[in-house]
Amino acid sequence: MKNKNMLDLVLPLNSEQLNYLKKLEKTCSNIQFAWLSGYFWNIANHDSDLLSNKNNLIDNQDQIITIISASQTGNAKLLSQRLYEYLKKNNKIVRLINACDYKFKKIKDEKILILIISTQGEGEPPEEALSFHKFIMSNKAPKLNNLYYSIFGLGDTSYNLFCHAGKIFDKRFEELGAHSLLDRRDADIEYEEMYNKWSEELLISINNKNLTSKSSISNKEESSTIVKSNYTKINPAKATILTNQKITGRYSKKDVHHIEIDISNLNINYKPGDALGVWYKNDINLVKNILKSLSINTSDIIKIKNKTTTIINALINNFELTTNTKSIVKNYANFAKNKFLNDIINNDINLQNYATKTPLINMINNFPSKISSGQLISFLRPLTPRLYSISSSQAEIDNEIHITVGVVKKIISNYCHLGGASGYLSQYLKSDDTIKCFIEPNERFRLPNNKKTSIIMIGSGTGIAPFRAFMQQRDNDGSNGKNWIFFGNPTFTEDFLYQIEWQQYIKKGLLTKMSLAWSQDQDYKIYIQHKIRENGKEIWSWIEEGAAIYVCGNASKMAKDVEKALLDIISIHGGMNLEDSDEYLNNLRLNQRYKRDVY
């Protein structure tokens, strides 16, 4: 007994722990011993680091710069990561966090806050910032008299409410008493120069305020936002097309393509919920038409970012040609000296309507003008990649990526105008062709970690794409949670995307229920929100049982109608008023049980 007590004093393990250790010792190989040694060493050192960092956070709370990334397509996240690295290199105490992970009720304790935020839909904050936005706009928001802040907004001048999300946060922070560290910036899709200048001025402003000391810490929250990838928007992969197949019927008003891409020779990993970024090329016939109307020689040499190329190659690869904007119309009107265009640009409402309804090529063809190559590219917008929800699970199909592409079509003056990316993907790419692409992770749209959790998936049109990936993953994982899909499209016979696959999942028992809304199969319109209300009682029972809800589709129409239907269900079947229903749904969002991927 005496020896036993002596042993307990010498070792940091009690007798019970020591017995477990001896049992484990008898079953392990030398390799396993080495692995366990490193494993426990890492835990010990990690805990020590966390304790040290926690103390630093407490001691240096007034010195921390918090960067919040509120991203929709990944640009805000990328800039937030860059700013984080930049400030760290300049010896600032800084932490980086996604808006969806931010404990916004503690904003009253912040001293310096930098918000980099995109705008989506009709001037709305990105999906991951909605809960933060609801809180900061509510009467629960605290006074922020001790806060210094700066906002970098990302947007698109082709939309009326340009950078509106950044503007409303800026206004609200000011109303709550916060102090502007540096004036807000509103950046268009070509933001690099503005961002570089803003970040440099921000550092100067922080130094002038003497708000932070010269030290650096690491924060646990950072790890959720810093994602490493082999391929990026700047360094895309070159992948090969395997299949490009139309999956809507002959008489459908929609043209939807299922595209399979080979990644077997690439080190690419993705998860259900992620998006594929695609660098597309403009149609060469469209490019030639533009140059012909402007009397520009296709072999003209121009310079783009210190690189020389021909104007025809530049228009194919570097500039957006399928979206007109107010800015483009104004600039072209100045070159064309046309009375009609000059009258248009003097009335903002008429200008917006004209830019929305008139493709660039139509404007140029209707009012041709002889301008130089340099003048042309001076007012064109840079080409940017398009993001498509991945409709496959890598666990199921391994070395492929599938996407579901709805072709954007506009018939104007008896001519069919195609969207730049969707036209390129659907009409011009054939088997064995190569595309430039990259994975855009979407951590806010993940399946539940618990495979027993039931899920409700709501999507219309190509919004069903990520749910195909979800079902493949659930099938592969042997998940035993219930699965319910709501899907809407115009007609059953022409527009039931992946019909056979859903029927197989139902037959197999993996898909518990599928509720379908066909808007044009009867005399009256039936949309997805009608089916949600029709099944309100059962949906509420799933929610009470812990189900997670996913929504994918159009942000300004379908997603808003679906949210209103969900609020009605919560109100009716949960016995709540509208305000409490809204708070309940927002709590589902905060608890990762209500997730949307909207565009």
Nearest to 55 by CA among 226, 219, 212: 219
Stretch 404-423: mean pLDDT, rounded?
90
Q: Is 421 annotated as a binding residue?
A: yes
Q: Is 387 annotated as a binding residue?
A: yes
Stretch 382-406: mean pLDDT, rounded?
95
Q: Is 119 annotated as a binding residue?
A: yes
Residue 163 Rama label (left phi>0; alpha psi -120 to 50; beta): left
pLDDT band at residue 208 under the 50/70/90 scheme: confident
Which CATH code of 2.60.40.10, 2.40.30.10, 3.30.70.1560, 3.40.50.2020 fits the domain covering 237-280+385-440? 2.40.30.10
Q: Is 526 annotated as a binding residue?
A: yes
Q: Is 229 annotated as a binding residue?
A: no
What residues contact residue 86 under an 8 Å CB cut-off, 6+ apart?
Answer: 199, 203
The string of pLDDT tens digits covering residues 124-152 is 898 889 989 988 998 888 899 999 999 99
Q: Which amino acid is at 235?
A: N
Q: Is 74 annotated as a binding residue?
A: yes
Q: Is 405 annotated as a binding residue?
A: yes
What residues contact residue 525 under an 8 Å CB cut-off, 6+ apart?
Answer: 519
Q: Is 561 annotated as a binding residue?
A: yes
Stretch 363-374: mean pLDDT, rounded?
93
Q: Is 571 annotated as a binding residue?
A: no
Stretch 34-58: mean pLDDT, rounded?
45
The string of pLDDT tens digits covering residues 501-552 is 999 999 999 999 999 999 999 999 999 999 999 999 999 999 999 999 999 9
pLDDT of 444 higher than 80: yes
Nearest to 92 by CA among 71, 116, 111: 111
Residues in a beta bridge with 114: 67, 150
pLDDT band at residue 310 under the 50/70/90 scheme: very high
Q: What pLDDT is attached to residue 100? A: 86
Contact 550, 566 (CB under 8 A): no
Q: Is 240 annotated as a binding residue?
A: no
Q: For the chain, what is the mean pLDDT? A: 87
Contact 121, 598 (CB under 8 A): yes
Contact 87, 203 (CB under 8 A): yes
Q: Is 434 annotated as a binding residue?
A: no
Q: Is 528 annotated as a binding residue?
A: yes
Spatial strand order of the sheet with 594-598 comes to 513-518, 483-489, 455-460, 548-553, 594-598
Residues in a beta bridge with 550: 457, 595
Give CA–CA dist 498/246, Å, rounded.
11
Q: Is 406 annotated as a binding residue?
A: yes
- Does CATH number 3.10.105.10 belong to domain 455-598? no
Q: How many CA atoms lie within 13 A of 458 on its CB side?
A: 28
Lowest mean pLDDT among 157-166, 223-232, 488-497: 223-232
Q: Is 141 annotated as a binding residue?
A: no
Q: Is 230 annotated as a binding residue?
A: no
Neighbours of 443 (CB within 10 A): 16
pLDDT band at residue 179 under the 50/70/90 scheme: very high
Locus of tokens 């495979």: 451
Q: Where does 284-382 sit in CATH, by number?
A: 1.20.990.10
Q: Is 594 annotated as a binding residue?
A: no
pLDDT of 599 higher than 70: yes
Stretch 61-65: mean pLDDT, rounded?
73
Q: Is 157 annotated as a binding residue?
A: yes
Q: Is 461 annotated as a binding residue?
A: no
Q: What pLDDT is attached to residue 467? A: 98
By CB atoms closer than 10 A (0-12, 13-18, 19+), residue 287 is buried
Q: Is 61 annotated as a binding residue?
A: no
pLDDT band at residue 105 under the 50/70/90 scheme: confident
pLDDT band at residue 63 under the 50/70/90 scheme: confident
Q: What is the DSSP string of 226-265?
A: ----SS-SSS-EEEEEEEEEE-S-TT-S--EEEEEEE-TT
pLDDT band at residue 16 under the 50/70/90 scheme: low
Locus of tokens 């929504």: 551
Q: Is 555 annotated as a binding residue?
A: no
Strand 65-70 to 112-118 pairing? parallel
Q: Any idea where the domains of the chain sit in the sequence?
A: 2-56, 60-224, 237-280+385-440, 284-382, 455-598
Chain-centroid distance, C-alpha 334: 36
Nearest to 110 by CA among 145, 158, 74, 77: 145
Contact 247, 497 (CB under 8 A): yes
pLDDT of 568 higher than 80: yes
> Does 284-382 match 237-280+385-440 at the fold level?
no
Q: Is 250 annotated as a binding residue?
A: no
User: What torsion do the CA atoms of 272, 155, 71, 129 make, to the nearest 10 degrees?
Assistant: -110
Q: Is 488 annotated as a binding residue?
A: no
Nearest to 110 by CA among 125, 123, 94, 126: 94
Q: Is 375 annotated as a binding residue?
A: no
Q: Is 205 annotated as a binding residue?
A: no
Q: Is 75 annotated as a binding residue?
A: yes
What residues contact residue 255 under an 8 Å CB cut-off, 6+ apart?
Answer: 246, 248, 406, 407, 409, 426
Q: Is 327 annotated as a binding residue?
A: no
Q: Is 155 annotated as a binding residue?
A: yes
In the chain, DSSP finds a helix count (H) and a strand count (E) of 23, 22
Whether the model clears a pTM of 0.75, i.e. scores above it, the answer is: no
Q: Which amino acid is at 517?
A: A
What residues contact residue 176 under an 8 Å CB cut-off, 6+ apart?
Answer: 136, 141, 142, 143, 144
- Token output for 310: 């021909």
Length of the chain as a residue count: 599
Give CA–CA dist 84/88, Å, rounded.
6
Q: Is 71 annotated as a binding residue?
A: yes
Q: What pLDDT is attached to residue 403? A: 98
Alpha-carbon dihedral sign for residues 350, 351, 354, 357: negative
Lowest mean pLDDT among 20-24, 105-109, 264-268, 458-462: 20-24
Better pLDDT: 106 or 431: 431
User: Which CATH fold topology does 60-224 show?
Assistant: Rossmann fold (3.40.50)
Q: Is 161 annotated as a binding residue?
A: yes
Q: Is 162 annotated as a binding residue?
A: yes
Give CA–CA dist 150/421, Å, rounded.
34
Q: Is 86 annotated as a binding residue?
A: no
Alpha-carbon dihedral sign for residues 453, 456, 461, 463: negative
Q: Is 419 annotated as a binding residue?
A: yes
Q: Is 163 annotated as a binding residue?
A: yes
Stretch 293-308: mean pLDDT, rounded?
93
Q: Is 72 annotated as a binding residue?
A: yes
What residues contact residue 332 under an 8 Å CB cut-off, 6+ apart?
Answer: 341, 363, 364, 367, 369, 379
> For residue 267, what is the DSSP state?
-
Contact 376, 296 (CB under 8 A): yes
pLDDT band at residue 297 under the 50/70/90 scheme: very high
pLDDT of 32 higher than 60: no
